[in-house]
Amino acid sequence: ISYALNIKGLKYNTEWLSFAAIEPKMKELGLGPHATGATKYTVPTIYDPKTKKVITESFAIAKYLDEAYPDTPRLVAPGTAGLHQAFLEKVAGPLLSTAFPIICFAAYDQCCMNEADEHLFRTTRESWFGGKKLEDIGPQGAALTETCKGISGQLDGIAKLVAANGPNAVFIGGDSPSHADTAVAATLICVLKLKGEDHELSKVISGHEWASNFLKAMSKWE
């Protein structure tokens, strides 16, 4: 959600949480579990001292920030919440779902802070993938190449949508980034940071004309 806050030019402090600390912290903030989804308590979550409100889930946060700070750049243009929801479900969500098996073990290896994190991450993710060992979730060899081709095709699809905004367009939101842009950028940057520039999927992303130009443009708000 740092993209959203930076686009709006809002000052904020970040509190990093271990995986195991997320649920206790969300309960401490008075948040109930998500009604749907494999994970009941998630980040990002923000606390706004101005309104004393706690908001969780990226899309809800984006809509809240637009309402609470109307003089800042909008993330969800008026009348586009439904279009955003459709994009998240049909485009950004599938992109993350396809990439996640590739980055899953790297997230475990690089982001777990303690044994409690390792246990929670391993047990939940292995359950998501039908009991498959965490080390075996990511595709290898020909399967990896095929998955990368699929993601390249997904990027082509997004590029085609962006092209409808004009021949020089780079943002899904048009002249400026929208919440849809932040969702896609977050997935692509996550892959690049967790897998490194030499990984097959990272090369697909950095070698894709629209995706590489898009990430350069979004780097202003990292």
Reported as a single tens digit per residue, the pLDDT across 16-35 is 999 999 999 999 999 888 87
How far is residue 46's CA from residue 62's CA, in Å, rounded to a whole number? Answer: 11
Reported as a pLDDT band with limits 50, 70 and 90, residue 166 is very high
- Provide the pLDDT for residue 199: 98
Q: What is the residue whose two structure tokens read 């060899």?
A: 141
CA triple 2-128-91, angle to 5 deg: 50
Asked whether the predicted pLDDT for residue 37 surpasses 90, the reply is no
pTM for the full model? Answer: 0.95
Distance between CA atoms of 130 and 123, rounded to whole angstroms?
A: 11
Confidence (pLDDT) at 83: 97
| CATH 1.20.1050.10 in the chain, residue ranges | 81-221
What is the rounded CA–CA span in Å between residue 149 and residue 56? 33
User: What is the pLDDT at residue 97?
Assistant: 97
CATH tag, 2-68: 3.40.30.10
Q: Which residues of the chain are in CATH 3.40.30.10 domains?
A: 2-68
State the Cα angle at 28 between 26 and 30, rounded to 5°.
75
Which architecture does CATH list for 81-221?
Up-down Bundle (1.20)
Report the share of the chain in percent with pLDDT over 70. 100
Tell me which amino acid residue 143 is.
A
For 178, the token pair is 């929208």
